[in-house]
Structure 1
Amino acid sequence: MSEIIAIESDLETYNQPWSGILRFNTGAEVMSFVVLTLSSDADSRLSSLEGFHFSTGVLASCVAEMLKAFILRYSLTMNITYLMIDYAEEFFGSSTGLAEVFAALKTIKYLKIHDVGIHGFLFLQKTRSCFLSADLSMTAVFNKPPNCIHLPLTETRRVAVRNPIVLLHRSQGSLEVLTGSGSRTLCKSRGRYRQVYENVRVLDLQDNDLPVTTHYAHAFPNLSKLRLETAPEVLSALHASKMDSLSKVRSRNRAQQLDTGTWKSLDACDAPLVDHFMLSLLCPVQKLHVFGSYMNPDMLFQVLKTTRPSTLSLRGFFLADLATGRFTKLLRQPCVLSLKKLELFICVHASDVDAAKHLDQSVAALRPLKILSLSLSISCFFPKRPQGDEHSRDAESSDAAEEYFKGLSLDALAGRITDLVPSLETVSITLEGHPNRPRTRMELGVVLD
């Protein structure tokens, strides 16, 4: 991304052509920019401008009207490719028609909007730009529609306002990267989306509704990397439901993929374990990143059985959850034995009284693997104890774990691992977060990140 230049309210002394991306934090800065540009050779000053970043929230009516007139006047002169708007509902709502004025810009390629609601919906529906990258954070609250929307805000329309697959329809032929937060992509129709984004390679949906794998596969048929995370409140509702469950969502996704097709392969898929489980991917995935802290080896087995990755990354899991018989059994399965690279990002809590034993068990579980590369990162979480609490049971537990990892030799640990897994060509081990030990890292072989 180009350089972002903060605009100061006293920029009257600035007489150079605008360049990079201009950021505005206040309405006064917007007004100063407009006045200063109009008082000089505007066409020349705007010729090198690459974009705007508005972080003002609501603008005073006079400032909003001034900005609207300015954008209208110079929409053809400016060739901005970046547009970022924080608090978009407040910003676009500052003046009737402000969203439509920005929608008239034809050259925006990289879009990032926070708080997409009704006004953001209008901007995206009417935009004349074809985006290469879009990052949309949806609002969770919908106020009364503005006067320019004559249709009632039905439930279908509420969902459409938060659905990037629908909102970005004008960029079907150009979009390459889509990032969304708070999206609702469930399609009411049993059929496929009409929108197809053949050039999208990266799809990142956070705080999302329940995953429907075929919706993504059909709307983004040439996807390379998928990152997905269901919203906590959606998962809570699922757990409380008497009609639905994680297993039922997984079964539906599996059946729909078998019925209507899915991707041939993915380069990478990043998600918490429950989302991987619900997605029920039926295609090979080269790099599988699984986020904790919830660990269920049986779920992970079901995921690995169909994706068969060459790289598996387990991030944010507690050491004790990996030192179990079920996890050891998992590492003996054929779907795991095809791994070439394993990444373990382990958390150690102060309450883990058997930390030494658990680390030994986790290391011993690696014996069946034929991996070429192992990356092990150990993050310690040993909170500072209140004064006078040194002799409590929790303090004794923390002391045991702290003392063990304080004296742990990473070189010796690496030696044990390579003895157990002779196929290893590279090993990296990191220990961090310990209150009485600096961050330590060791490497064997040539480690390629």
Structure 2
Amino acid sequence: MPGLLSATTSGADAAQRVTLLLRDEGSILSFVMSATSGSSESNAVHCLHISTGALSNNVAQTLADFVACPPPSLALTHLQIDDAEDFLGSHRDLVRVFARLTTIRHLSLGGVGERSRALLQRMTIGLVSADLEMLPEDDAGIARTNNNPIKLLHGSQDSLHLLFGKRCDIRSPRDAPYRERFPFVRIIKLEHLHLPVTADYVRVFPDLARLCISVPDEVKDRVLGPNYRAYAEYRNVNIMAQLDEGSWNSLEACSATLDDHFLLGLTCPVTKLRISGNYMNTAMLRAVLSNACPEYLGFRWFDANILSPQFATVLSRSYIAQLRCLEFTLCLGGVLQPDQVNVGVMLDTTIKAISSLSIRSFGLFLGSYLRSDSNPSRRYTEPLCEAERYLLGLDVTAVAQRIKDAVPGLEVVAIAIFNHRARPFVCAKLGVGLYPADAVESTPLKTADSFT
């Protein structure tokens, strides 16, 4: 298909599914002509990615006519539209014809506004996955209605499995508890979210397995301020609602910043608990761990100062007795100045902190962000600081063995250095193959692979 960019998906579905990117009006016209003629290339397309923005009226009319009556051989199952409002606003029929596509099961919309909401509400088939990036709303009351995926996806209650979103407001409308239920949703990832109302999540998604949320700092600052007591009161409301109405029996995984975990106030066990940095408050951490009782605990994107004596004390408590795997991904110098990072002391502190744990697996991944000069053009000309020089000569295999020797019962160790200015990615792994790939003990090995 001349003028079109297509990419075959990787993995087991590669032979069955091809993604086609339509990035300008020419590629749209070429695709319509090819599909109308019944070419084998167009028949192979299952994923359509539209990234054109607004179209001219003639091209939009041509596309609308085609989508209104697509050839039977074209079976689109995945649809992604960037800048959906501009695109759908190109012609009055686009919302109607795309809403009537009966083969779409996976939908991704960027810039969801009035027209995109109309598309979602008029769709006649149930989606399996939805990824919705909402346009910002200045009025919080309007956002609570307009940017609510639970209401917008009302017609997919019996089919939806995956929900992803940005700038969504998932709180139930005031004085109107949710009647919607999405019994098959297993994975939720929501960014730029409002403060979480945990009981709503439990009520609407009763069989949830994995939850990942992110609440902007400006939202928390505006609603709660800097007062720890306000955070604690909000958390208690969420906990009491779960005690009154019930919670999940357990979650496979939950990922968030520490203060977002704290606000969620989960009362159920969480097998894999991931905490993103760089904010650390040991009182919050104790509260979160005592309820979650994780078997895997990962700290991501913290700086070297996370490993304080107070933090080490939290790791010594009984509420992590069931912990089998501990993992750190640190951005050294991400917050601290280069002269504040002493890698040797950090390693000694780490080993001392974990030496009494009954863990089987441990990962330590050190990202080097140790530049005093923020100008990217001088990334490779500024002399290495002391911490960078230490990392340059660090024997990661020796460090891995040292940690293994210091922690009784430890069987899997993964150590890696990434993003260093003068050293390529380097990794040491001990205990490869001792545990199945889906066991929490294997998580550090998989994390190490993800940096390559």
The alignment's TM-score, normalised by the length of structure 2, stands at 0.85
Once the two structures are TM-superposed, the CA of residue 283 in structure 1 deviates from its matched residue by 0.3
CA contact (8 A) 1:238 1:246 kept: no
Change (3 A) 1:248 1:24: same
The residue aligned with 1:415 is 401
In structure 2, C-alpha distance between the alignment counterparts of 1:242 and 1:336, rounded to whole Å: 28
Matched, 1:297 2:282: yes
Which residue type is aligned with residue 444 of structure 1?
L
Which residue type is aligned with residue 116 of structure 1?
V
Change (3 A) 1:357 1:270: same
The residue aligned with 1:325 is 309
Once the two structures are TM-superposed, the CA of residue 94 in structure 1 deviates from its matched residue by 0.7
Q: In the TM superposition, what whole-angstrom CA distance separates every residue of 1:402-436 from its partner, at most 9, and x where no partner exists? A: 33323333233223322321110111111223333
Matched, 1:364 2:352: yes
The residue aligned with 2:322 is 338
Change (3 A) 1:436 1:233: same
Change (3 A) 1:6 1:279: farther
Secondary structure, in 3 states, of the residue corresponding to 1:31?
A: helix
Matching of residues 100-179 of structure 1 within 5 Å = 100-141=96-137, 158-179=143-164
Change (3 A) 1:75 1:426: same
Matching of residues 37-76 of structure 1 within 5 Å = 37-38=35-36, 40-41=37-38, 47-74=43-70
The residue aligned with 1:444 is 430
Change (3 A) 1:271 1:353: closer
Which residue type is aligned with residue 279 of structure 1?
L
CA contact (8 A) 2:190 2:214 kept: yes
Which residue type is aligned with residue 126 of structure 1?
R
Identify which of 92, 96, 103 aligns with 1:96.
Answer: 92
Q: Where in structure 2 are there 5+ consecutive unaligned residues?
A: 6-15, 376-381, 434-441, 447-452
Identify which of 325, 331, 336 aligns with 1:347.
Answer: 331
Once the two structures are TM-superposed, the CA of residue 439 in structure 1 deviates from its matched residue by 2.3
Once the two structures are TM-superposed, the CA of residue 356 in structure 1 deviates from its matched residue by 2.2
- Give the greater-gyration-radius structure (CA): 1
Which residue type is aligned with residue 427 of structure 1?
V
Change (3 A) 1:386 1:208: closer
CA contact (8 A) 1:331 1:337 kept: no
Size of the aligned set, in residue pairs, is: 415
Change (3 A) 1:249 1:45: same
The residue aligned with 2:370 is 382
Once the two structures are TM-superposed, the CA of residue 353 in structure 1 deviates from its matched residue by 4.6
The residue aligned with 2:436 is none
The residue aligned with 2:79 is 83
The residue aligned with 1:258 is 243
The residue aligned with 2:385 is 399
In structure 2, C-alpha distance between the alignment counterparts of 1:275 and 1:155, rounded to whole Å: 20
Identify which of 417, 420, 432 aligns with 2:418.
Answer: 432
Secondary structure, in 3 states, of the residue corresponding to 2:417?
A: strand
The residue aligned with 1:182 is 167
Once the two structures are TM-superposed, the CA of residue 252 in structure 1 deviates from its matched residue by 1.3
Once the two structures are TM-superposed, the CA of residue 325 in structure 1 deviates from its matched residue by 1.5
Change (3 A) 1:124 1:157: farther
Once the two structures are TM-superposed, the CA of residue 19 in structure 1 deviates from its matched residue by 7.8
In structure 2, C-alpha distance between the alignment counterparts of 1:113 and 1:417, rounded to whole Å: 46
CA contact (8 A) 2:168 2:192 kept: yes
Identify which of 208, 212, 215 aligns with 1:227.
Answer: 212
CA contact (8 A) 1:352 1:401 kept: no
Identity %: 34
Once the two structures are TM-superposed, the CA of residue 22 in structure 1 deviates from its matched residue by 2.7
Which residue type is aligned with residue 440 of structure 1?
V
In structure 1, C-alpha distance between the alignment counterparts of 2:300 and 2:227, rounded to whole Å: 31
Once the two structures are TM-superposed, the CA of residue 236 in structure 1 deviates from its matched residue by 2.9
In structure 2, C-alpha distance between the alignment counterparts of 1:438 and 1:45, rounded to whole Å: 41
Once the two structures are TM-superposed, the CA of residue 280 in structure 1 deviates from its matched residue by 0.7
CA contact (8 A) 2:4 2:20 kept: no
CA contact (8 A) 1:249 1:278 kept: yes
CA contact (8 A) 1:379 1:433 kept: yes
In structure 1, C-alpha distance between the alignment counterparts of 2:106 and 2:305, rounded to whole Å: 44
Once the two structures are TM-superposed, the CA of residue 320 in structure 1 deviates from its matched residue by 1.8
Secondary structure, in 3 states, of the residue corresponding to 1:208?
A: coil
In structure 2, C-alpha distance between the alignment counterparts of 1:171 and 1:288, rounded to whole Å: 29
The residue aligned with 1:146 is none
Secondary structure, in 3 states, of the residue corresponding to 1:374?
A: strand
Change (3 A) 1:367 1:193: same
Which residue type is aligned with residue 333 of structure 1?
R
In structure 2, C-alpha distance between the alignment counterparts of 1:186 and 1:162, rounded to whole Å: 10
CA RMSD of aligned residues (A): 2.8
CA contact (8 A) 2:143 2:169 kept: no
Secondary structure, in 3 states, of the residue corresponding to 2:271?
A: strand
Which residue type is aligned with residue 24 of structure 2?
T
Q: In the TM superposition, what whole-angstrom CA distance separates every residue of 1:98-137 from its partner, at most 9, and x where no partner exists? A: 1121101111111111111100000000001211111111
Secondary structure, in 3 states, of the residue corresponding to 2:108?
A: strand
The residue aligned with 2:11 is none
Secondary structure, in 3 states, of the residue corresponding to 2:201?
A: helix
Once the two structures are TM-superposed, the CA of residue 239 in structure 1 deviates from its matched residue by 4.5
Judge which range, 425-434 or 212-221, deviates more.
Answer: 425-434
Q: In the TM superposition, what whole-angstrom CA distance separates every residue of 1:193-223 from its partner, at most 9, and x where no partner exists? A: 1111000010111111111111111111000
Matched, 1:197 2:193: no
Once the two structures are TM-superposed, the CA of residue 78 in structure 1 deviates from its matched residue by 4.0
In structure 2, C-alpha distance between the alignment counterparts of 1:19 and 1:292, rounded to whole Å: 37
Change (3 A) 1:319 1:25: same
Secondary structure, in 3 states, of the residue corresponding to 2:80?
A: strand
CA contact (8 A) 1:376 1:428 kept: yes
Secondary structure, in 3 states, of the residue corresponding to 2:199?
A: helix
Change (3 A) 1:21 1:169: same
In structure 2, C-alpha distance between the alignment counterparts of 1:50 and 1:386, rounded to whole Å: 44
In structure 1, C-alpha distance between the alignment counterparts of 2:184 and 2:374, rounded to whole Å: 56
